[in-house]
Structure 1
Amino acid sequence: MERPAPAAGASSGPRRPRRLESAAAKAVLAALVVAGIWSISELQINVASIVDSAGNAVDFVGRMLPLDFPPVAELAGMIGETLAIVLLATVLSVALSIPVAVVAAESTGRTRAGRSAARGFIVLMRAIPDLILAIVFFRVFGLGALPGVLAMGLHSIGMVGKLLADAIEDLDPGPRAAVQAAGGGRVQQVVVGVLPQLLPQIIATGLHRFDINLRTSVLLGYVGVGGIGLAIAESMRTLDYQRGMALALTVLVLCILTELVSGAFRRRLLGTPRGLERRGREQRGRTVVRWADRVSGGWVTGGGRAGAAEAGAGGVSAPPRLSQPWDADRVRRYLWGAVIVALVFLAWHDAGISVVGFLSGAADLPSTALMFFPPDLSAVGSTLWPELLTTLQIALAATLLGAVLAVPIGMLAARNVAPSPIVHGTFRVLIVLVRGVPELILAIVFVVVTGLGAVAGTLALAIGAVGLLSKLVADSLEETDTAVQDALRANGAGRMQVFAAATLRQATPAFVAHVLYLLDTNVRAATLLGVVGAGGIGYYLLNASRIVDFATVTTIVLMILGVVLAIEGLAVWLRRALR
């Protein structure tokens, strides 16, 4: 019997490439796991070597106790300077990211070329580590807070700009369309129809970036940025572990307090994620109705109903100028804006940044940039390439070890997976504590305990991954669809059956994305930890900058940039193929 021909559109042709792409993506993931295992073996990370370092750990504890805290006034000055630098860098990144995101977003970008250029700039800023930017800016502007502010501010565009551009594309187009229908230009459409909706995302992203920049400021202290990081670097160079670890404990407490305060502030101002989403939909709905009413009723400044009446009587009304209503939301936004401006002025004064110094340094920027070109390729094959390979091994090994530790911790920290509220709360507190420790502090401790080299950097990044990945895993599990889980329970499924068949299955794509993000982050972090002797190419980067060998600095930057962009491109493809 002859088979009927397949109906039009029912061909399996489009599905086969999709299946092949998915199979290829899974093969690449398996290869990454194998590469992680190989890296652990090559770096000689094993239980025996860690146990052998136990004596060094005991000796280190004896050398750091009792902790030697500086006088209260001196410590307060360090904390104030650090917070000032971090605040200025975060505000700078948000201020620069908003226009970049508007140009990069599909819904607000004017041309494809402009959108591509803005997206490329975002990727470039994310790919260049802030330590490298700080080294360049120190050459231009000298020592002080300004290079740190510029380095962290520009590098943060890579994260803040991407998140804001994605958020703009997800906004309700109604308010912007209403402004356009009323004759508003592109600037008015963005200011009135886009930014008010984007404000919650701006606040949440800014607070999150502030938390990240606080940890980064400690690392930048090793290249001359002021504050606590510089004091820790000076203490460790002189082997004053009592003072250095006292300052490290101060950073730990400061990071934990910052995370708790920013988290509470986000919840107080924005609500829970689901509540925020629901409230956002309601607010956008009210905004659309209000704008539709204003457009149809002629509620425009300089016109309004009176203007419409004059036009109907033969008068010529003025061109309409759109304006937002002075409601409670707008007043609240202006008040918070005034508070932020006041804090920025205080931070500017505390950081001691000079406008004259900035302008004079900026004038010398072209001549300084010429010192970095052409790159010196003489040491690529003999020294730099093996060290870059070591950096990749550190990142792969730390990602694999971190995932093995973080996934079970994240599961027990998820409210809908943990067996009891006590377990959920305990593991959430553990995640906060681990997240509060900057990887640099962990690297310093492991360098003293295990010695110089890649083992210290790998262990530091693996523990740091627990704080980041565990939180992402827990949040992904809590955001799964509970209706599917309830349906399985109603049919008699047990707790583990519900977890395996519904919860874990829904969260697996998010797990893969989070691990790829962790790998991308660890490549940059492995480079940065090299400045304290934790292995990899970062050590050579710092040495080249200290001896003013900027041609080698350029070579290392280009090598790191190429690897980071390749990994980011691979991650984008894997997320798309496994979707």
Structure 2
Amino acid sequence: MVAAVAALIALLAAAIWSVVDLGIDVTALVTGAQNAAAFVARMVPLDFPPGGETISLMAQTLSIVTVATVLSVVLGLPLALAAASITASHRWSRSASRSVIMVMRAIPDLVMALFFFRVFGLGALPGILAMGLHSIGMVGKLYADAIEDLDHGPMEALRTAGASRRQQIVSGILPLLLPQLIATALHRFDINLRGSVLLGYVGVGGLGMAMADALNTMDYQRGMALALIMLALCIVVEMISAATRTALLGRTPDRRRGLLGPLDRLADGWVTQPVATHEPQHVRSGRIRTAPPWDAERIRRTLAVTVTAVIIALAVLRSDVNPASLLTGLTHIDATLGLFWPPSAGGSWDVLVDAMMVTIQIGLAATLIGVVIALPVGSLAARNVAPNTATANIFRLIIVVVRALPELILAIILIVMMGLGPVPGAVALGLGSVGLLGKLIADSIEETDVRVQDALHATGAARVQVHVAATLRQVLPTLVAHVLYQLDVNIRSATLLGIVGAGGIGYYLLNASRVQQFQTVTLILLMILALVLLLEMLSAWIRRVVS
């Protein structure tokens, strides 16, 4: 415990040092604020593309993200089944599956996209493969953890009855896992949609690429208009996904209410026996019913499956994936891999090390900025802490908007206002951290035992005293876990923000790819992978000790 506390103190000291060393101070922020008026003057009036072009760009983006997310689920679920102890066939397969999941999570999708562009050429396919394979890291891990947490009773009963391993998984695991499976896929879809902006800078089509082209030519009126469209799209998708995840994992609505309520009432006349009885159900012809009745719940499931299948089919068609290009690229993958090996610094080792240190500083500084802002925002978004419901709703809305705003767009805006360098990158990631951290803090505070707060209130303690002494003390272990997770996310993101001039290793990664120094790309990738794995092990150890 003492060592974990010392590690946390060291991380805090490193974050403070990073803020000071990078030059993130009041002067830099004031200068950026003063330049904001000039930037706004350059971006207004916004130049929105024609309606048909806008719809086409949105459809292309959504198609690529949809197919990539489906690919991650299709590949991630078998890996998760092989990685979970209850469903793994052998110990070695479990270790191998978890290693694949960890590596996919550690390799940035941008790096994968650069590689796949070299293999398959231009088009949507490299972006789909990069986004889909990278998503396996999150999807596979969350699915494996969900399988571990399931009630294993049904599977044990099937095993006792002589069911095969496949039958145990299909009948005893997948039905219980289905809500978590869908909820995780929707969450990953949100993340991939925001990530598509970054991939647009390396040639993946859609809104991201159109926005990158506009901003690279300093056409801020068109670029910011496209950014606003992407923000609105992210907010809509976030709200729909959040409502769907809540319905799947939380509340169970009254089936007699809502739009499909009449279907439930109409379905009562289709059987002659009450649904709750253990006696066989009969249809009007007198035959015993062997299938579930067509009530609103079954209609919902059927409609959901049908609509999902149609959306996926349309996304595949709209993404214009060429199977011939896939097969052709696979035949040349060995030659392409040869270009990336052996790793080489190209005489720039000291420069790459310095850039990696700047990346670490950006991640640390961004996390500190995010925590400082997210603590009050998340506290006021918690309904048991906010002075009234309206305040909680306002701050919840702020969190939703911030979460939907891609960090890359924020970084571009800040770079225009503050100039090139790590400062706008750190500030952009810090503000972006408020979305996730604020939500996690608010949810954690709402789950605290309110009796402790009530006891302090009864003794005459002020609201701030109760919040600090009772509420925050209860959520402290959870808060530490959330901050460490955000640090992990920020350092991963900091490795890529350099492509728009925000400093760090990302600039050298993109530059090495553009001049075809693929061996340097491999070395930078290995440096990023080592940093991410080291940070992940440190975070896992601290979370285990603190909790």
TM-score by length of 2: 0.90
Question: Which of 450, 473, 483 is the aligned partner of 1:515?
Answer: 483
Residue in structure 2 matched with residue 433 of structure 1 by the alignment:
401
TM-fit CA distance, 1:333: 4.6
Question: Which of 69, 72, 79 is the aligned partner of 1:93?
Answer: 72
TM-fit CA distance, 1:509: 0.9
Could you tell me the percent identity over the aligned residues? Answer: 57
1:255 equivalent in alignment to 2:231: no
Greater CA drift, 493-502 or 153-162: 493-502
**Alpha carbons of structure 1 residues 533 and 271: separation in structure 2 relative to 1, 3 Å:** same
**Alpha carbons of structure 1 residues 117 and 474: separation in structure 2 relative to 1, 3 Å:** same
**Alpha carbons of structure 1 residues 390 and 440: separation in structure 2 relative to 1, 3 Å:** same
- 2:484 is paired with a residue of what secondary structure? helix
Question: Superposed, which structure 2 residues align to 1:112-123 within 5 Å?
Answer: 112-123=91-102
Q: In structure 2, how many angstroms separate the alpha carbons of the residues matched to 1:274 and 1:563?
A: 45
Amino acid at match of 2:476: T
- 1:194 is paired with a residue of what secondary structure? helix
Residue in structure 2 matched with residue 300 of structure 1 by the alignment:
none
Residue in structure 1 matched with residue 429 of structure 2 by the alignment:
461
| Unaligned stretches of 5+ residues in structure 1 | 1-21, 276-323
Question: Which of 100, 106, 112 is the aligned partner of 2:85?
Answer: 106
Residue in structure 1 matched with residue 535 of structure 2 by the alignment:
567
Q: In structure 2, how many angstroms separate the alpha carbons of the residues matched to 1:332 and 1:503?
A: 41
Question: Which of 342, 348, 352 is the aligned partner of 1:374?
Answer: 342
Residue in structure 2 matched with residue 80 of structure 1 by the alignment:
59
Residue in structure 2 matched with residue 387 of structure 1 by the alignment:
355
Question: Superposed, which structure 2 residues align to 1:489-508 within 5 Å?
Answer: 495-496=463-464, 498-508=466-476
Amino acid at match of 1:220: L
Q: Is the 8 A contact 2:381 2:442 kept in 1?
A: yes
Residue in structure 1 matched with residue 441 of structure 2 by the alignment:
473
Greater CA drift, 325-334 or 159-168: 325-334
Amino acid at match of 2:398: L
Question: Which of 436, 440, 444 is the aligned partner of 2:412?
Answer: 444
TM-fit CA distance, 1:337: 3.0
Greater CA drift, 493-502 or 144-153: 493-502
1:176 equivalent in alignment to 2:144: no
TM-score by length of 1: 0.85
Q: Is the 8 A contact 2:344 2:519 kept in 1?
A: yes
Question: Which of 236, 240, 243 is the aligned partner of 2:215?
Answer: 236
Amino acid at match of 1:359: L
Residue in structure 1 matched with residue 130 of structure 2 by the alignment:
151
Q: In structure 2, how many angstroms separate the alpha carbons of the residues matched to 1:54 and 1:363?
A: 53
**Alpha carbons of structure 1 residues 441 and 273: separation in structure 2 relative to 1, 3 Å:** farther
TM-fit CA distance, 1:160: 1.1
Q: Deviations over 1:444-490 (max 9, x none)?
A: 11111111110111111011011111011111111223455456667
- 2:495 is paired with a residue of what secondary structure? helix
Residue in structure 2 matched with residue 139 of structure 1 by the alignment:
118
Q: In structure 2, how many angstroms separate the alpha carbons of the residues matched to 1:472 and 1:272?
A: 19
Question: Superposed, which structure 2 residues align to 1:35-434 within 5 Å?
Answer: 35-272=14-251, 333=301, 335-434=303-402
**Alpha carbons of structure 1 residues 326 and 191: separation in structure 2 relative to 1, 3 Å:** farther
TM-fit CA distance, 1:438: 0.5
Amino acid at match of 1:475: D
**Alpha carbons of structure 1 residues 503 and 571: separation in structure 2 relative to 1, 3 Å:** same
Q: Is the 8 A contact 2:183 2:244 kept in 1?
A: no
Q: In structure 2, how many angstroms separate the alpha carbons of the residues matched to 1:267 and 1:96?
A: 25
TM-fit CA distance, 1:53: 3.1
**Alpha carbons of structure 1 residues 340 and 49: separation in structure 2 relative to 1, 3 Å:** same
TM-fit CA distance, 1:499: 3.3
Q: In structure 2, how many angstroms separate the alpha carbons of the residues matched to 1:546 and 1:270?
A: 45
TM-fit CA distance, 1:358: 1.1
TM-fit CA distance, 1:502: 3.7
Q: In structure 2, how many angstroms separate the alpha carbons of the residues matched to 1:495 and 1:45?
A: 32
Q: In structure 1, how many angstroms separate the alpha carbons of the residues matched to 2:253 and 2:202?
A: 42
TM-fit CA distance, 1:382: 2.4
1:29 equivalent in alignment to 2:19: no
TM-fit CA distance, 1:268: 3.5
Q: Deviations over 1:66-86 (max 9, x none)?
A: 000010000100000000011
Q: In structure 2, how many angstroms separate the alpha carbons of the residues matched to 1:325 and 1:266?
A: 28
TM-fit CA distance, 1:269: 4.0
**Alpha carbons of structure 1 residues 496 and 115: separation in structure 2 relative to 1, 3 Å:** same
Question: Which of 479, 497, 515 is the aligned partner of 1:547?
Answer: 515
**Alpha carbons of structure 1 residues 513 and 325: separation in structure 2 relative to 1, 3 Å:** farther
Q: In structure 2, how many angstroms separate the alpha carbons of the residues matched to 1:539 and 1:124?
A: 22
TM-fit CA distance, 1:500: 3.6
Q: In structure 2, how many angstroms separate the alpha carbons of the residues matched to 1:129 and 1:70?
A: 31
**Alpha carbons of structure 1 residues 34 and 553: separation in structure 2 relative to 1, 3 Å:** same
Q: Deviations over 1:337-378 (max 9, x none)?
A: 332222111001111111111111122112111110011134
**Alpha carbons of structure 1 residues 36 and 273: separation in structure 2 relative to 1, 3 Å:** farther
Q: Which has the larger radius of gyration?
A: 1
Amino acid at match of 1:182: A
Q: In structure 1, how many angstroms separate the alpha carbons of the residues matched to 2:31 and 2:112?
A: 38
Q: In structure 2, how many angstroms separate the alpha carbons of the residues matched to 1:241 and 1:578?
A: 47
**Alpha carbons of structure 1 residues 493 and 124: separation in structure 2 relative to 1, 3 Å:** same
Amino acid at match of 1:451: G
Greater CA drift, 553-562 or 357-366: 357-366
Q: In structure 2, how many angstroms separate the alpha carbons of the residues matched to 1:273 and 1:554?
A: 49
Q: In structure 2, how many angstroms separate the alpha carbons of the residues matched to 1:505 and 1:325?
A: 53
**Alpha carbons of structure 1 residues 170 and 486: separation in structure 2 relative to 1, 3 Å:** farther
Residue in structure 1 matched with residue 269 of structure 2 by the alignment:
none
TM-fit CA distance, 1:56: 2.6
Q: Deviations over 1:113-172 (max 9, x none)?
A: 111111111111111111111111111111111111111111111111111111101111
Amino acid at match of 1:456: P
- 1:508 is paired with a residue of what secondary structure? helix
Aligned-pair RMSD on alpha carbons?
A: 2.2
Q: Deviations over 1:476-520 (max 9, x none)?
A: 111223455456667776645543444322211110011001110
**Alpha carbons of structure 1 residues 195 and 333: separation in structure 2 relative to 1, 3 Å:** farther
Q: In structure 2, how many angstroms separate the alpha carbons of the residues matched to 1:401 and 1:499?
A: 21
